[in-house]
Amino acid sequence: MNSKLGFHIQRRRPGWPNVIADTTPALVKSLEWAMLDEWLPEEQTDPLKRRRAEIWTTRNSFLLGRYPVADQSLDRPADRAHEFWQRLLDGLTGGNRGRRAQVLERMRHFYAWEGYNEVGTGPDIERLGRFDAILARYFHEEGMRYACGGFSMTKPTLDEWPRYYEALLDEAASSRGERPDFLHLHEYWFPGGDWADLLNPDGTIHAERMRQATRGYMLHWRDLYTSPGTPQEIRLPVIISEAGWDQGWPEQVGYRRSARSDEDYLRWLIWYDQELQKPLGDGPGGGIDYVVGAAIYTYGHEARWASFEIDQFQGRGILDRLRDYLREANREPHPWNWRVAWEDEEEPPPVTESHYLLLAQEASIEWRHALDAYLHRFRVTNGQSLDDAVRIGAERHHITLVGSADSVYGVPAAWEAEIRRRRPDGDQIVIIDRLPGRTVEELRRAADERVRQNDRFGDAIRALRNRCP
């Protein structure tokens, strides 16, 4: 069975691509945006680099992104979610709005993104739930997945957990937010003086004693998911976005400053890995494998976190032995069984209506931004391809043509005629409407009016105007 262990990369260490290609870990979490320069096979001109990148992509190593921000306030969740989104884009574009489309496209190469980090418990727990739901909508609207939570070790408590997910689901039920795609949290522990009591006579870890000793710290997600009342819809695939040994109090120190050896730490990580591989529940096939992976903190560090570094330096390090373990465990691509957690218990109803919003090929970016509110509200498939627009998705297919036919950037009348020519015979119905506008401002007003009236296709607006003398 594949390992669930992976790497947290705070700062890229020399040789990191060779390590990832060699071990193909379940999870790679990166705080460095520039990692994409070597991650994407199609961008490599060196054949060796291309082959190396193809290994981790075809083996399904999950790439998780995080953009650190200094201010993690939660006083007004909707405002704070908007501010976080803007800070992320401003940071990655260098403040150049003209680069946003390019940056968003590259962001989609991360399989998911995090938001806030280790905040929001106690009195802020409900505000964090609302923040996460609203921020999930921002990511979803740009075709990206979002991991909510970001809880520190032992958090949230079982009392806080319902308050968090109830606020999140309440916000997701409104037009303001959406349900995230993953739950992520941190799981740390630190060995005490009873270490010998947690071992078998041969020096191996006694699994049951270790489970009891680490209860509330490790595998805390299981306690949350099995807590009475936890709804199935909040049992999202789980990402352990930081894991390892951390003393926590009175200061945060890693395994290098423990009394235990590197061999002890690696042995403990393998025990943890085996626990993460166990499905939860007694459903079909023996339960659900919720865990995406666990990012060991850390491979590559800032000076403050040197005691956590797993690479070999200053006479210590577990990377070489960990590499051997992962290479042996990950001989096959990761199966991503956790995706079953997204599946509904019942078959979704058949799609009876589809919708495509068609822009002219010459349409400027300003014209697209004029539709922001409309696209946010109705989440319609959109693009500039006539062939895509006429591809029938359901029994009733709507095509909205953007811009007046006689405007510079509007869909031309010839395209509308071609759509009508290609209408299918039989039971399928194609309905065409036009979102008029000769300028950016006219188009924005027309689109925003449909949003205010909750009138996706403009039917009610046209009917009202036809009645007016």
pLDDT at res. 124: 97
Which residue, of 282, 308, 342, is where some domain finishes? 342
pLDDT at res. 296: 98
Residues 338 and 453 in one domain: no
> Is position 348 within any domain?
no
pLDDT surpasses 90 at 280: yes
Residues 313 and 375 in one domain: no
Q: Count how many domains the chain has.
A: 2
pLDDT surpasses 60 at 136: yes
Sequential DSSP letters for 326-353: HHHH-SS----GGGGGGS-SSPPPPP-E
pLDDT at res. 382: 84
> Is position 14 within any domain?
yes
Distance CA 452, CA 454 (A): 6
> Is position 314 within any domain?
yes
How far from chain centre, in Å, is Cα 393? 27
> What's 402's domain CATH number?
3.40.50
pLDDT surpasses 50 at 348: no
pLDDT at res. 467: 66
> Is position 296 within any domain?
yes
Residues 435 and 393 in one domain: yes
Query: What average pLDDT does range 123-145 have in this prediction?
Result: 96
Residues 357 and 281 in one domain: no
> Is position 347 within any domain?
no
pLDDT at res. 369: 84
Which residue, of 315, 342, 369, is where some domain finishes? 342
pLDDT at res. 350: 61
Query: What average pLDDT does range 317-341 have in this prediction?
Result: 96
pLDDT at res. 469: 52
Q: Of 422, 419, 452, 421, give the one whose Cα is nearest residue 433.
A: 419
Is pLDDT larger for residue 156 or for residue 364?
156
> What's 199's domain CATH number?
3.20.20
Residues 329 and 377 in one domain: no
> Is position 370 within any domain?
yes
Q: Which domain holds residue 80?
A: 5-342
Q: What is the DSSP letter of 307?
A: G
What is the rounded average pLDDT for all residues in the chain? 92
Could you give the percent of the chain with pLDDT greater than 90? 78
Q: How many residues appear in the chain?
A: 469
> Is position 385 within any domain?
yes
- pLDDT tens sequence across 231-279: 999 999 999 999 999 999 899 999 999 999 999 999 999 999 999 999 9
- pLDDT tens sequence across 378-428: 878 888 888 888 877 678 899 999 999 999 999 999 999 998 888 776 667
pLDDT tier for residue 343 given thresholds of 50, 70 and 90: confident
Q: Of 275, 280, 335, give the one whose Cα is nearest residue 2.
A: 335
The neighbouring-strand residues paired with 355 are 398
pLDDT at res. 462: 85
Query: What average pLDDT does range 26-46 have in this prediction?
Result: 95
pLDDT surpasses 50 at 150: yes
Distance CA 220, CA 233 (A): 18
Residues 65 and 18 in one domain: yes
Distance CA 354, CA 399 (A): 9
Query: What average pLDDT does range 295-300 have in this prediction?
Result: 97
- Candidate from 45-54, 71-80, 100-109, 460-469 with smallest mean pLDDT: 460-469
pLDDT at res. 89: 96
pLDDT tier for residue 463 given thresholds of 50, 70 and 90: confident
Residues 283 and 327 in one domain: yes
Could you give the percent of the chain with pLDDT greater than 70? 96
Residues 217 and 317 in one domain: yes
Distance CA 239, CA 230 (A): 18
Residues 271 and 412 in one domain: no
Query: Do the beta carbons of residue 238 and residue 291 sit within 8 Å?
Result: yes
Residues 213 and 359 in one domain: no
- pLDDT tens sequence across 43-87: 999 999 999 999 999 999 999 999 999 999 999 999 999 999 999
pLDDT at res. 426: 66
Residues 335 and 388 in one domain: no
pLDDT tier for residue 376 given thresholds of 50, 70 and 90: confident
pLDDT at res. 307: 97
- pLDDT tens sequence across 175-215: 789 999 999 999 999 999 999 999 999 999 999 999 999 99
Residues 312 and 385 in one domain: no
Q: Is 407 helix (H, G, I), strand (E, B) or coil?
A: coil
Residues 6+ apart with CB under 8 A from 94: none
pLDDT tier for residue 345 given thresholds of 50, 70 and 90: very low
Q: Which helix (H) or strand (E) holds 464?
A: helix 459-467
Which residue, of 323, 342, 361, is where some domain finishes? 342
pLDDT surpasses 70 at 351: no
